[in-house]
Structure 1
């Protein structure tokens, strides 16, 4: 088993701003009208890149597909499905992408769940990657899962009490390895967040006896690479978040609508 740990300092995201963003996204989706299969934004502008392919708008089972730029037809290799849409209880979406490259055919299934939109309490993201032709699935596929307990996160970043369980945790599972990650924040003296990220890597199957040897040979280099990757991610966060959190919900909604319309 190999262990990694590193702490970064991040610009904070206000809880009220985050919750307003969640409400804004739901308002934008619920304000979108449907004419046949075509969608119109709340201001009446048509949304050219997405169509309702099946079901009723925002009802469980509704399926949306992007429009293929070449022929204007729905893309059969990509699909967004509404699993649940209830602002008080749960919002759940599934995104499926199929890569039909003859040399590496693959299917990626991602599910995002949020409880609830009116007062977000937790979010769960799961993903499964597997070859779409059913061959070599054991070694070319894998699963990932991340869970964010927003109540624990806001509590840890406001009063500094160490949570009994990591507010953010995740696992990556492959036939040869399993990676477990935990993320715990605390307030820094200057008001920012001090975020400690820990990872634990376990070998599986034939890789189990090889992992200790690899950790002994490349452990220092791997830890340096791990720390540098987190520092780059923190730098990107700190460069972009301050301007983002200064925008109110109305401005964010307008910018998102413009982005959906494309260039």
Structure 2
């Protein structure tokens, strides 16, 4: 098993701002009307992109597909399905993308869940890559899962007792390796977040006896690459987030609506 750990400093995200953004996004979706299969924004503008392909708007089972630019028909290779839509309980969406590349055909299934929109408590994400090129391609597949407990996150970034478990955790399972990640924030004196990321890598199948050797030979280089990747991600966060949190939910909703109108 190989272990990695690195700490970065992030610009904070206010809790009330995040909750207002979640509410604004739900308001935008619920204020959108359906005309035939086309979607019309609350201000009356028609969306040029996704159409309602099946079911009733925002009801479980509703499916939305982007429009194919070549023939103007719904794209069968991409689909967003509503699994749940209840602001008080749960919002869940499934996104499926099919890649028909003749050399590496595959299907990617992602499920995003939120509990709940009125008082966000938990966020979950799962993604599974299904290669469809036969047994020779099976090593390209894998599954990833992440879970964010917002209650523990706000507790950890405050000045009270620290939560017993990591607020953010995830796993990545492959035929040869399994990676477990935990993310724990702490408040810094200047109000920013000091976020520690820990990762454990375990070998599976034929890779199990080879991982200790690889860790001994490449351990320092791998840890440096791990730290550099997190530093780059933190730099991008600190460049974009401070400007973002200055915008209220209504402004973000308007900007999202404008973005959806750009084909």
Task: State whether TM-score is above 0.5.
Answer: yes
Contact 1:160–1:187 (Cα < 8 Å) also in 2: no
Q: CA deviation at 1:66?
A: 0.3
Residues 176-233 of structure 1: CA deviation (Å, up to 9, x unaligned)? 0000000000100110000000000000000000000000000000000000000000
Q: Which residue of 2 aligns with 1:42?
A: 42
Structure 2: segments with no counterpart, 5+ residues: none
Contact 2:2–2:201 (Cα < 8 Å) also in 1: yes
RMSD: 0.9
Is it true that 1:202 corresponds to 2:199 in the alignment? no
Paired residues in the alignment total: 263
Give the distance between the partners of 1:116 and 1:137, measured in 2 at CA: 38
Taking a change above 3 Å as real, the CA distance of residues 135 and 36 of structure 1, as seen in their structure-2 partners, is farther
Q: Which residue of 1 aligns with 2:95?
A: 95
Q: Which residue of 2 aligns with 1:168?
A: 168
Contact 1:6–1:198 (Cα < 8 Å) also in 2: yes
Q: Which residue of 1 aligns with 2:221?
A: 221
Give the distance between the partners of 2:158 and 2:8, measured in 1 at CA: 17
Report which stretch shifted further, 201-210 or 63-72.
Answer: 63-72
Contact 2:122–2:150 (Cα < 8 Å) also in 1: yes
Please give the TM-score of this superposition, normalised by the length of structure 2.
Answer: 0.98
Equivalent residues in 2 for 1:178-257, closer than 5 Å:
178-257=178-257
Give the distance between the partners of 2:26 and 2:230, measured in 1 at CA: 31
Is it true that 1:112 corresponds to 2:106 in the alignment? no
Contact 2:104–2:137 (Cα < 8 Å) also in 1: no
| SS in structure 1 at match of 2:179 | strand
| SS in structure 2 at match of 1:48 | coil
Give the distance between the partners of 1:161 and 1:234, measured in 2 at CA: 25
Q: CA deviation at 1:163?
A: 1.6
Give the distance between the partners of 1:7 and 1:210, measured in 2 at CA: 28
Please give the TM-score of this superposition, normalised by the length of structure 1.
Answer: 0.98
Q: CA deviation at 1:133?
A: 4.2
Give the distance between the partners of 2:16 and 2:153, measured in 1 at CA: 13
Taking a change above 3 Å as real, the CA distance of residues 210 and 160 of structure 1, as seen in their structure-2 partners, is farther
Q: Which residue of 1 aligns with 2:82?
A: 82
